[in-house]
């Protein structure tokens, strides 16, 4: 989808559907909201939770745009739908009789980060995960840090025992993380990621625990929930501290 410039110096707002191959060849769908074309803006790559789709970010990505960031929301093969938007990658995976467990989404996440770096991330790539994908982006950050420059993880945990992984699969990986990391969740879920957070080097990590009950995954930032404001303030502070944009400098 193409939209016109609002003015010679204004960003271009609008969504574009893109596809690219996963590491194993499965075609991955993503929606790009990249209004800033000057090459000086970081791109935030948004990954959804279980049973979901890129639709999880329909009101989060536009908000991130207003902060000065480009966004790419990805359909991983482990998912279904969210907010009326079907997961096209998951549909293809099922049609091709591919496995669609959490771990099977790793090639999609890695490929999305590579694609984002190549096309939108000259100023930096920030990985944003929700639930199982929050854990996977933390794992990738520990094992292959060249794919991203920072992480936001909402409700991560050691979710991979059914896939034959150890009870500390994520915790063991994050010990190597050197980049900025932000972790949050519902208040009741803090115990699921406290050991993971503790294993990350202290210098560049931040956490946010809501005073309210909060919610699981990135849904905590949906506008329909009153306490989303507190989450958004915490996210904004983290991003502005670690990934300042030209837009912020000009405000």
- Residues 97-111 as b/e (b if ≥16 CB within 10 A, e otherwise) read ebebebbbbbbbbbb
The percent of residues above 70 in pLDDT, for the chain, comes to: 92
Q: What's the average model confidence in pLDDT over 107-118? A: 97
The percent of residues above 90 in pLDDT, for the chain, comes to: 88
Q: In this structure, is residue 4 part of a structural domain?
A: no
> Rounded to an integer, what distance in angstroms lies between the CA atom of residue 46 and that of residue 210?
21
pLDDT tens digits, one per residue of 60-110: 999 999 999 999 999 999 999 999 999 999 999 999 999 999 999 999 999
Contact 150, 242 (CB under 8 A): yes
Q: What local confidence, expressed as pLDDT, does residue 1 receive? A: 28
Q: In this structure, is residue 171 part of a structural domain?
A: yes
**What is the pLDDT confidence band of residue 245, given thresholds at 50, 70 and 90?**
confident
Q: In this structure, is residue 11 part of a structural domain?
A: no
| pTM of model > 0.85 | yes
Q: What local confidence, expressed as pLDDT, does residue 248 receive? A: 53
Q: How far is CA 238 from CA 146, 187, 208, in A?
A: 20, 19, 10
Q: Per-residue pLDDT for 161 more than 70?
A: yes
Q: What local confidence, expressed as pLDDT, does residue 2 receive? A: 28
Q: Per-residue pLDDT for 9 more than 90?
A: no
Residue 221 sits in a domain whose CATH number is 3.40.50.1820
Q: In this structure, is residue 251 part of a structural domain?
A: no
- Point out the least confidently predicted range of 28-42, 53-67, 151-165: 28-42
Q: In this structure, is residue 160 part of a structural domain?
A: yes
Q: In this structure, is residue 159 part of a structural domain?
A: yes
Q: What local confidence, expressed as pLDDT, does residue 247 receive? A: 58
Q: Per-residue pLDDT for 6 more than 50?
A: no
pLDDT tens digits, one per residue of 131-145: 999 999 999 999 999
Residue span of the structural domain in which 33 resides: 16-245
- Residues 210-232 as b/e (b if ≥16 CB within 10 A, e otherwise) read beeebbbbbbbbbeeeebbebbb
Q: In this structure, is residue 122 part of a structural domain?
A: yes
Q: Per-residue pLDDT for 166 more than 50?
A: yes
Q: How many domains does the chain have?
A: 1
Q: Per-residue pLDDT for 17 more than 60?
A: yes
Quote the mean pLDDT of the chain.
92
pLDDT tens digits, one per residue of 177-212: 999 999 999 999 999 999 999 999 998 999 999 999
Q: In this structure, is residue 121 part of a structural domain?
A: yes
**What is the pLDDT confidence band of residue 244, given thresholds at 50, 70 and 90?**
very high
């Amino acid at each position: 989808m193409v939209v016109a410039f609002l003015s010679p110096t204004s960003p271009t707002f609008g969504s574009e559907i893109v596809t690219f191959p996963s590491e194993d060849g499965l075609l991955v769908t993503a929606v790009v909201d990249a209004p800033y074309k000057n090459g000086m803006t970081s791109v935030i790559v948004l990954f959804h939770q279980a049973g979901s789709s890129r639709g999880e970010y329909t009101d989060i990505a536009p908000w991130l745009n207003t902060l000065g960031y480009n966004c790419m929301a990805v359909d991983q093969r482990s998912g279904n739908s969210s907010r009326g938007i079907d997961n096209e990658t998951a549909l293809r995976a099922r049609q091709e009789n591919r496995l669609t467990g959490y771990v099977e989404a790793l090639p999609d996440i890695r490929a999305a980060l590579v694609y984002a770096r190549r096309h939108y991330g000259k100023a930096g790539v920030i990985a944003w995960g929700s639930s199982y994908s929050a854990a996977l982006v933390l794992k990738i950050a520990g094992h292959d840090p060249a794919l991203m420059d920072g992480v936001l993880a909402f409700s991560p945990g050691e979710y991979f025992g059914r896939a034959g992984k150890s009870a500390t699969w994520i915790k063991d990986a994050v010990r190597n993380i050197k980049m900025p990391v932000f972790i949050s969740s519902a208040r009741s879920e803090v115990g699921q990621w406290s050991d993971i957070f503790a294993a990350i080097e202290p210098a560049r990590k931040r956490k946010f625990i809501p005073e309210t009950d909060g919610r699981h995954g990135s849904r905590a930032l949906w506008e329909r929930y009153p306490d989303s404001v507190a989450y958004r303030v915490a996210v904004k502070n983290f991003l502005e501290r670690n990934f300042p944009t030209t837009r912020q400098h000009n405000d």
